[in-house]
Chain A
Amino acid sequence: MKSDSSLSTIVKALEEVGAFVEEVRDSEVYFRVTRENVRAAARALYSLGAYLKTCAGVDERELSGLFAVYYIFGLDDHGVDAVLRVLVPQDDPWTVSVVPDVPAADWCELEVRDLLGIDFRGRLTKRLVLPEDWPEGVYPLRKEFKYDEKPPRVLREELSEEVGIPVGPYHPALHEPEYFELYVEGERVVDVAYRGFHVHRGIEKLAESQRFTYKQVPFLAERICGICGFVHSSCYVMAVEKAAGIVVPERAEFIRSIVLEVERLHSHLLWLGVAAHLLGYDAGFMHAWRIREQVMVLAEYLTGSRKTYGINLIGGVRKDINTEKIDKVLKTITDLRKEFTELVKAMLAVPQIKSRASGTGVLTKAEARALSVVGPVARASGLYRDVRKDYPYLAYKRVSFKVPLYTEGDNLARLLVRVDEVFESIEIIKQLIDMLPGGSVVVEEYDIPSGRRAVAAIEAPRGEDVHFIITGVGRPYRWRVRAPTYQNIPALRAMLRGTPLADAPLTIASIDPCFSCTDRVTVLDVRSGRKSFIRLKQGV
C-alpha cells in the first residue's frame, strides 16, 4: 500500500455507491457489491483512473452457496488493486454487465458466461470461448463438471463444403490458429471480425482438478504460452506465495527476475524477426533469429530447457546460478548489445520498413485507455503503464531502468518500443547480476491455507499478465489467468480500420499476439458480401 490516503479515497468513493470493504490484503482491497450496484461501482473506479485488469467467475457454491464474479481493477497511480466481488444466486444466475462503462470487460464477461453460465444484463452476448458444437447448458467451470468430461462432438460444416483451400485458421508465416475476418473495400480494411480461442485447452479447470497439486501447476502454467511461459509460472507462484504469505529468498527473486528478462530478450528478438519477415525483409528475420539463438542457448544453460524452463517452485527456484553461469550471462548480453545495435541500424535503414510501419495501425491514446491495453501497445500510444514500475515485484524495485514511451501509436512506434526495451532488459540483467545476493534459492517448508485470495501481476514481453488465485485444499480452488494478448486483441479493431490490406498482418502482429496469431485472413468484400471478389482501384 503506497499511502493510506489513496486507500481511503477509493473506499469512500465505493461506499458511496453501496459497496463495502470485505478485506484488505497487501496491495489489494476487496469490495462486496450487489449485482444492481456493480455498474456504478465500476464507473466510480474508472473515474478514479482505474483500468480493468480482468474479471473472473467463480463457482463458490461449496463455500457460500453462490456464484461470484470478481472484477479486478488496477489503480496503477496508487499501486493498488481494487477487486469487486459480485455474488450471484445459483437459481437465478444473472448480473449486470459493466461493459457500457468499461468496454475492456467485454471478453471476460463473455468468458464467464460461457464457462460458468452466468448471464450478463445490459449487453449483447454471444459465445466466445467454447466451440460452436459445445452443448448449451454445460458449463466447464462449475464444480460438478469433471475436467475430463467430453460432451458429444459434431464435426461441423467446414468439412463438407467447397473444394477450395481450407479457409481454416492457418497461416503460413505465423503459426497460431487464430482467425480474423477482414472486411475490405479495395485494398483497404474497413472492419474486422475475430474468432479466436482455438487454443482453449481448459487449463484453468485442469488446475483445480484432482490431477494437479499446487506444486505441479507451475509446469502447467508454463505451457499456457510457449513464448512467455516463464511469466505465467512466475505469476502463478507469486500469487500463491502472496496468498499464503510465503517469503521467498531474495536470491530466488533475483534469479526469477534475470530469467524473466532473458525471456523478454528472446521474445522481443523473435517478434522483431517476424515483423521483418512480414515486411518481406527476410534478411532481418534471419539475423534477428541468429542473434536470438545465443539467448536461447543462455536460457537452456540457466534453466535446463530452451523454452518452458521449468525452474519455478512455490517458495523459490530449482536451479541456482554459479560464477560460470554469471560469466556466460555477461558475455551473452554484451555480444547481444553490440550485434543488436548494428542490426537495428541496418533494419531501420530499409526503406520499406519505415514506409510501411509508420502511419499504419494507429491506436490513439484515448482508445488505448478505454480498451485498457497493456504492454508495448499501451506504451507506443503514450500510456505510461509498466507493472515493473507500477507494482514493483521480485527484484525490480532494486534496479533502475527507463520505460520507453512513444506517442504515435502506429506500428513503427510499437516496433521502436520493443527495440528500446531490449536495451533496457540488457541493462536490467547487468544490474541484477551485479547485485545478486547470496543465500538459498528455495524455502521448503510452507503451508498454504485454503480460502485465501491474491492477485499477482508481471510485466510480460507483451504486457501485463495477471493471475488471480483462490486457494483450496492441496490445489487452487480457482485460478484465473489473464494473458496480456487477451487485453490487446480487442484493440485490433481500432487499429485495423483504414489500414491497407498489405499491412494488416503487420498490424495484427504488432500487438505481438502471443506469437503473432495473424493466421489465415479471410477477405470479404463488404459490398457484395461474398468471399469471392475483390475490387481494386487501379493505380492507387
Chain B
Amino acid sequence: MSVAKILEIALRTGRVTRRYPYEPPLLTPEFRGAVKIDPSKCWGCGACVKVCPPNALTLKPAGKEATLEYFVGRCVFCGMCAEVCPAKAIEVTKEFELSATSLEDLKSRVIHRLARCSICGAPIWTEAELRTVVKSSPIAEEYYLVCPKCRKERFAKAAMLRLGAGSE
C-alpha cells in the first residue's frame, strides 16, 4: 500500500528535530548575523552609513559630538558596511539571538568627538578620522584643522592678493 509509504519514510528518517536552544542552531559558517562596530578602530568616516540600504546605520552630529548609531532592528544583514569600512572596524558576527523587550536595547552607539575648524569653529570631522589621516599622510595643521569653506575663502583671498587686487 503506497499510502502507507510515508510511514516507512518516517521510520527510516527518525526524528530530525534540533533541540534548540539545548542543541546548537542550524548555522553554517557563512551565516551573516548582526554586525559589530569596534569603537577602538572606527573613525566615524560614515562610509558604512552611505552604503547601508535600510539606514540602519546613521551618523548624526550633535554639538561637540557625532554619534554613529547601529539599529539592529532595521538591519537587513547584508554586510555591505563591513565590506566598505576603510578602518576594518565592522565585523559581521554570527549573532542572531538579538531579541529584546525594548527598542533601545537594539541600538548601539559609538560616540565621536568632533574636531572644529580653527577659523570658524564649525565641526569638520571626527577626531579619530583626523588622527588617522594625519598618521597616514602628514599634513600641516593649518590644513586639517580648517574646514573646506574657510579653506576656500582663504585660498580665494590669497589668490586675489597675489593678483594684486588688494584688500577692498
Please list the residues of chain A having a beta carbon within 8 angstroms of any beta carbon in chain B.
Answer: 211-212, 215-216, 219-220, 223, 283-284, 287, 290, 293, 297, 300-305, 308, 310, 318-319, 339, 342-343, 345-347, 349-351
Chain A min CB distance to B120 (Å): 28
| B6 touches which of A212, A300, A339, A346 (Cβ 8 Å) | A346
Residues of A close to B31: CB separation below 8 A: 300, 304-305
Interface pair A305/B2, CB less than 8 Å apart: no
- Name 5 A/B residue pairs within 8 A (Cβ), A-sorted: A283-B6, A293-B16, A300-B27, A301-B30, A310-B79
Interface pair A297/B51, CB less than 8 Å apart: no
Question: Is B26 engaged at the interface, CB distance under 8 Å to the other chain?
Answer: yes
Question: Known contacts A300-B28, A304-B30, A304-B32; is A349 also within 8 Å of B76 by CB?
Answer: no
Chain A residue nearest in CB terms to B32: A304
Residue among B9, B51, B53 facing the most chain A CB atoms (10 A cut-off): B53
Report Cα–Cα, A220/B6, bound state, in Å: 41
Chain A min CB distance to B4 (Å): 8
Report whether over half of chain B's contact residues are helix, strand or loop; otherwise say mixed. loop
Report Cα–Cα, A301/B32, bound state, in Å: 10
| A223 touches which of B10, B16, B51, B76 (Cβ 8 Å) | B76
Report Cα–Cα, A347/B30, bound state, in Å: 34
- Top 5 closest pairs, chain A to chain B, by CB: A349-B2, A346-B5, A301-B28, A219-B53, A304-B32
Interface pair B77/A305, CB less than 8 Å apart: yes
Question: Known contacts A215-B51, A308-B76; is A300 also within 8 Å of B30 by CB?
Answer: yes
Residue among B26, B78, B83 facing the most chain A CB atoms (10 A cut-off): B78
Residues of A close to B30: CB separation below 8 A: 300-304, 319
Report Cα–Cα, A347/B55, bound state, in Å: 46
Report Cα–Cα, A287/B78, bound state, in Å: 31
Interface pair B51/A290, CB less than 8 Å apart: no
Chain B min CB distance to A331 (Å): 14
Chain A min CB distance to B101 (Å): 25
Interface pair A310/B6, CB less than 8 Å apart: no
Question: Known contacts A304-B31, A305-B77; is A220 also within 8 Å of B53 by CB?
Answer: yes
Chain B min CB distance to A392 (Å): 29
Question: Is B62 engaged at the interface, CB distance under 8 Å to the other chain?
Answer: no
Chain A residue nearest in CB terms to B52: A216
Chain B min CB distance to A68 (Å): 28
Interface pair A287/B9, CB less than 8 Å apart: yes
| B55 touches which of A211, A290, A319, A339 (Cβ 8 Å) | A211
Question: Is B140 engaged at the interface, CB distance under 8 Å to the other chain?
Answer: no
Interface pair B9/A342, CB less than 8 Å apart: yes
Residues of A close to B163: CB separation below 8 A: none
Report Cα–Cα, A366/B141, bound state, in Å: 78
Report Cα–Cα, A59/B29, bound state, in Å: 46
Chain B min CB distance to A353 (Å): 10
Question: Known contacts A290-B16, A297-B28, A300-B28; is A216 also within 8 Å of B6 by CB?
Answer: no
Interface pair A310/B78, CB less than 8 Å apart: yes
Residues of B close to A347: CB separation below 8 A: 6
Chain B min CB distance to A205 (Å): 15
Chain B residue nearest in CB terms to A300: B28
Q: A304-B32, A304-B79 are in contact. List 9 more A-B contacts (CB 8 A).
A: A216-B51, A283-B6, A287-B6, A300-B27, A310-B32, A310-B79, A345-B5, A346-B3, A346-B9
Residues of B close to A301: CB separation below 8 A: 28-30
Report Cα–Cα, A308/B26, bound state, in Å: 17
Chain A min CB distance to B77 (Å): 7
Interface pair A349/B3, CB less than 8 Å apart: yes
Residues of A close to B77: CB separation below 8 A: 305, 310
Residues of A close to B79: CB separation below 8 A: 304, 310
Interface pair B32/A345, CB less than 8 Å apart: no
Residues of A close to B6: CB separation below 8 A: 283-284, 287, 343, 346-347
Chain B min CB distance to A211 (Å): 7
Question: Known contacts A211-B55, A305-B77, A310-B78; is A345 also within 8 Å of B2 by CB?
Answer: yes
Residues of B close to A351: CB separation below 8 A: 3
Interface pair A342/B28, CB less than 8 Å apart: no
Residues of B close to A300: CB separation below 8 A: 27-28, 30-31
Report Cα–Cα, A432/B32, bound state, in Å: 26
Chain A min CB distance to B47 (Å): 13
Give the residues from 95 to 133 in chain B that come closer than 8 angstroms, CB to CB, to chain A: none
Residues of B close to A219: CB separation below 8 A: 53-54, 76, 78, 80
Report Cα–Cα, A223/B54, bound state, in Å: 11
Chain B residue nearest in CB terms to A324: B29
Residue among A216, A220, A304, A319 facing the most chain B CB atoms (10 A cut-off): A304
Interface pair B53/A212, CB less than 8 Å apart: yes
Residues of B close to A287: CB separation below 8 A: 6, 9-10
Chain B min CB distance to A492 (Å): 31
Chain A residue nearest in CB terms to B77: A305
Report Cα–Cα, A484/B80, bound state, in Å: 29
Residues of B close to A350: CB separation below 8 A: 3
Chain A min CB distance to B75 (Å): 11
Residues of A close to B16: CB separation below 8 A: 290, 293
Interface string of B65-97 (1 = CB under 8 A from A): 000000000001111100100000000000000
Chain B min CB distance to A147 (Å): 13
Report Cα–Cα, A284/B7, bound state, in Å: 11
Report Cα–Cα, A110/B76, bound state, in Å: 32
Report Cα–Cα, A283/B9, bound state, in Å: 11
Report Cα–Cα, A283/B3, bound state, in Å: 11
Interface pair B26/A297, CB less than 8 Å apart: yes
Report Cα–Cα, A282/B130, bound state, in Å: 62
Chain B min CB distance to A328 (Å): 9
Report Cα–Cα, A219/B76, bound state, in Å: 8
